[in-house]
Structure formats: structure tokens, C-alpha cells
Structure 1
Amino acid sequence: MDILVLIGRILFAALFLASAANHLAQRKAMAGYAAAKGVPAAGAAMAAGTLVLLLGGLSVLLGIWADLGALLLAVFLVPTTVLMHAFWKEDDPGARQQEMIHFQKDLALAGASLMLFALISYAGHELGLTLTGPLFAIR
């Protein structure tokens, strides 16, 4: 089971680390997009979001307090999903559909992050193939 969880962690973290790299490479454009979506203090929010993506993704990937990393990703995803993909505000049917797809995808990723948090917190040191054990202990 350890190897399957490791492969899952790698695949899961890759999405968030690639997103963090994109946020860094496209800082101005991403901040402008967030501002257009009504995100307050868009530049600061983008910087904080990028840091959370990077820390959470690396934590899950490397298995350094991977439960905390998964929790950070969930905390990032929930408000981001609501603020950035508010499909109910779209008038154009095509745009509404695209935002709904992104909303549902990000909500599912938040759910997966919470499940990963619970798995790692519950399994503890028995999980294996991590650099540290979990920070939290759910029993």
C-alpha cells in the first residue's frame, strides 16, 4: 500500500506544483485575472496563494508533514473555488459552463485534499515512504 500512496501523492502534488510555477511565471496576469474576478488585494492574495500551493504541494510530495500540506491545499481550494469560479454570476452559457466545470473540479480536489489529510493523519507513521510522520493524529 505504501507505494500506491506514494504514487498518488506524486500525481496529486504535481498538479499543485505546476500551478504554483504558473502563478510565479504569470504573476501580473494572474493578479489581474483575480482582480477582475473581484478578489480583494489581488496581488497579495496571489502571492499568498502561490506560497500555499508551493508549500502544500511540496509537503505532500516529499512526505514532510504531508497531512498539513493536504490541509493547506484544502484551505486554499475552498475560497479560491468560490471566488474564482462563481459560475452563477455568468450570463453567457459557454462561460457559465466553463466556470461550472472548474468549480466542480476544484471542489473535488478540495474533497480529495481532505481525504488525504484524514488518511495521513489516521495512518500516522505506519503509512511509510514519507520523510516525517504526520503533524496531526486522528483516532
Structure 2
Amino acid sequence: MSLIFRVISLVVCPFWWSCGRFETAPARKRNGTPDWGLALGCSSSLFWRIIMVMTTMSLAPTIVSRTYSVGRALLGSLFLFSGLLKIGSFAAYSAWIASAELPSPDLLLVVTIVIEIGGGLTLISGWNARLGALLLALFLVPTTIIFHGFWRADPADFMNQLNHILKNVSILGGMLVVFAIESSRMQARVP
């Protein structure tokens, strides 16, 4: 029964509270029986208000926590798969790094793979996610500028590089959000 009230409160409560549908009159009856649709949507009985508010308040932290964990894991999976793909195409990625005229492309690629897989695993598992998010955020900035400079791309590749910059800036924003949330969690744990 509690689950039913929670589902009802998630769907009904925010809508009817925001549009003023909770009226002071009791639910109307049809043929002598209560109209439960009206009772759920229009009744302002103390019982329904208490049920709606209590279940919404008790469920919200759980939903936020689970949603955050799923979102953090999805961000981490992007880096994990990217690192694993780089292992499979080591020579091609090494040549791409060399084309950017960076020294020691093989070493830089190994460091990149370690950062992407390690950072991705920290975000997926939640273990040391704050450090993983910070490391990946710091990794994204030079990588984006060096490899996705739309300002120096030819006209045919301009939009592709611009999309990569926008994607990486969005991912950087996600890393900053994870870093901030994990920092606040860490501060909450410290007495």
C-alpha cells in the first residue's frame, strides 16, 4: 500500500498542489459511493494531504541519490569504454597523437588510457569519485583544446570539431557537478 501512495504522490501531488486543485469540499459521490478519482485529485482532506506530503518527502532523497548514482555511472562508462577502445586501436590513436606534434605519443596514449579507465571506474563504482571527477575534468581541458580546435579546422571539419568541443564542455560540466556533490558528501561525513 505504501508503494501505491508513493507512486500516486509522485504523479498527483506536484501537479495538483501547483495548480490549486485541492479544494475544501469533500469528494462528490456518484450513486452513493465515493468517486475516488475526485478524492485523489480534488479532496483536501487532512488524510490525503498528509499521505501525499509524507510520501513525497520520504521518497525524494532516495530518488535523488539513486538518480545521481546512475548519472555518475553513465558519465564514468563513457570514459571506461573510450579507454578500452583506445587499447584495441593503439596504433591508430598513437598516430593521431603524433599528428598533433606532441612528444612521446605512445607514452601519452598509455597515460590517457590509464586516466580514462581509472577515472571511469571511480565514477562507476563511486569509490573516490571526487578524485576521479577532478582528474577527468583536468584531463578534458587540454585534450579538448589540442584535439578539437574548431578554430583551426578546415570548413569541411568545422562543425564536427565544434560538436566535439560542445560535447566535451558538457562532459566537463558533468565532472564539475560530480566533484561538487562528492565534496559536499565528504564534508557532511566529517564531524
TM-score w.r.t. length of structure 2 = 0.62
**Map of 1:80 onto structure 2:** 143
Distance 1:38 1:63 in 2: 36
Structure ID, larger Rg? 2
Distance 1:7 1:31 in 2: 32
CA RMSD of aligned residues (A): 1.7
Q: Does the CA contact (< 8 Å) of 1:13 and 1:57 recur in 2? A: yes
Q: Does the CA contact (< 8 Å) of 1:20 and 1:54 recur in 2? A: yes
Q: Structure 2 unaligned segments of length 5 or more: list them.
A: 1-63
Q: Does the CA contact (< 8 Å) of 2:75 and 2:174 recur in 1? A: no
**Map of 2:19 onto structure 1:** none
Q: 2:156 aligns with which of 74, 94, 97?
A: 94
Deviates most, 18-27 or 106-115: 106-115
Please tell me whether residue 3 in structure 1 is matched to residue 70 in structure 2. no
**Map of 2:166 onto structure 1:** 104
Question: 1:103/1:38 Cα in 2 relative to 1: closer, same or farther (>3 Å)?
Answer: farther
The percent of aligned pairs where both chains have the same amino acid is: 31
**Map of 2:96 onto structure 1:** 33
Q: Does the CA contact (< 8 Å) of 2:83 and 2:116 recur in 1? A: yes
Q: Does the CA contact (< 8 Å) of 1:13 and 1:58 recur in 2? A: yes
Distance 1:81 1:63 in 2: 25
Q: Does the CA contact (< 8 Å) of 1:70 and 1:114 recur in 2? A: yes
Once the two structures are superposed, residues 98-120 of structure 1 have per-residue CA deviations (whole angstroms, 9 ceiling, x without a partner) of 11111111122112111211111
Opposite residue 51 of structure 1, the aligned amino acid is V
Q: Does the CA contact (< 8 Å) of 1:39 and 1:83 recur in 2? A: no
Opposite residue 57 of structure 1, the aligned amino acid is G
RCO higher in structure (CA 8 A, sep ≥6): 1
Opposite residue 113 of structure 1, the aligned amino acid is M
After the TM superposition, which segments of 4 or more aligned residues of structure 1 sit over 4 Å from their partners?
A: none
Q: Does the CA contact (< 8 Å) of 2:87 and 2:113 recur in 1? A: yes
Number of residue pairs aligned between Structure 1 and Structure 2: 127
